[in-house]
Structure 1
Amino acid sequence: MSTQQLFIPDWIKTGFQNRQGTYTGKFAYVIYFDGKGTLRKETSWQS
């Protein structure tokens, strides 16, 4: 993989939810802002 293909975001957003379907009862997530400032996977994160 060349360094031109690797994207390291400047900003990320994290959080967790209490969820019954997991081993610990918690579900954590990390999403990131792309180069245009758009929050990636925002629609799936909000639901």
Structure 2
Amino acid sequence: MIADDHRLFREGLRLILSREGGIDIVGEAAHGLQTIEVVSDLQPDVV
């Protein structure tokens, strides 16, 4: 899961991580409350 308040940073990180094998981006959040909600729903291994 990617969590950051800057859309451009999230997009860049998603691009970089998508090039790595074995990494699946399961969610994205733009602020703290949204992060808590998404983590609660998706239960990702890494935020």
Larger Rg: 1
More strand by share: 1
TM-score by length of 1: 0.25
TM-score by length of 2: 0.25
More helix by share: 2
